[in-house]
């Protein structure tokens, strides 16, 4: 009698082992990539809020962003009003890096539990505020409070939370609106194709 080939399931036992070791780096890479997106969006939206409020309170658009450069230049940065590479660009770079840092924690949390992204974003924004103004030294705070009013601070951190969650909110809305349609079309189409094949046969 001819020898039968071995079943496919006995010929490839090593594939699951290889993919198992690739999962953690892949998840970490995915979290970091998503954090770059959500953190950048949170940085931009909150910076727009900072600029708008600092224009109304301090009289100049870059004043709020300039204040963040106190990380490097100390107290004088809190009183810098004009546009400059020394204060404005550095201040935004610091704020952007901080936003991506908080976004990394947010995306890691959402990767484990993707529900309620806006609630998680609000929690992360509140935690960021507590750390910024009640944990780290004042020089390492964003410095917004020197050029923005109290309502402005609420708007800034609210914009930050919205930026963190916006991509997931939009993606979730598209998924909910598009998910029910595709399966329905597929299910309805299969019986018709089967009936046509029977008639031809």
Percent of the chain whose predicted confidence (pLDDT) is above 70: 75
The pTM (predicted TM-score) of the whole model is: 0.76
pLDDT, average across residues 91-110: 98
- Taking only the tens place, the pLDDT of each residue in 33-75 is 999 999 999 999 999 999 999 999 999 999 999 999 999 999 9
Q: Which residue has the tokens 């780096």?
A: 25
- Taking only the tens place, the pLDDT of each residue in 136-185 is 999 999 999 989 999 999 999 999 999 999 999 998 777 666 654 444 44
- Over 80: is that where the pLDDT of 4 sits? no
């Amino acid at each position: 009698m001819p020898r039968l080939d071995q079943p496919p399931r006995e010929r490839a036992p090593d594939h699951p082992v290889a993919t198992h070791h690739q999962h953690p780096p892949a998840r970490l890479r995915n979290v970091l990539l998503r954090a770059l997106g959500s953190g950048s969006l949170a940085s931009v939206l909150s910076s727009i809020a900072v600029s708008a409020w600092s224009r109304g309170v301090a009289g100049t658009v870059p004043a709020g962003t300039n204040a963040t450069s106190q990380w490097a230049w100390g107290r004088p940065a809190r009183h810098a009003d004009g546009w400059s590479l020394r204060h404005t660009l550095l201040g935004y770079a610091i704020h952007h890096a901080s936003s991506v840092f908080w976004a990394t924690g947010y995306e890691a949390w959402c990767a484990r539990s993707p529900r309620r992204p806006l609630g998680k974003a609000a929690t992360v924004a509140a935690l960021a505020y507590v750390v910024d103004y009640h944990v780290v030294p004042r020089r390492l705070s964003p410095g917004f409070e020197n050029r923005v009013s109290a309502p402005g601070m609420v708007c800034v951190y609210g914009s930050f939370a919205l930026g963190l969650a916006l991509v997931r909110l939009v993606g979730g809305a598209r998924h909910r609106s598009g998910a029910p349609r595709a399966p329905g079309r597929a299910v309805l189409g299969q019986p018709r194709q089967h009936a046509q094949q029977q008639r031809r046969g």
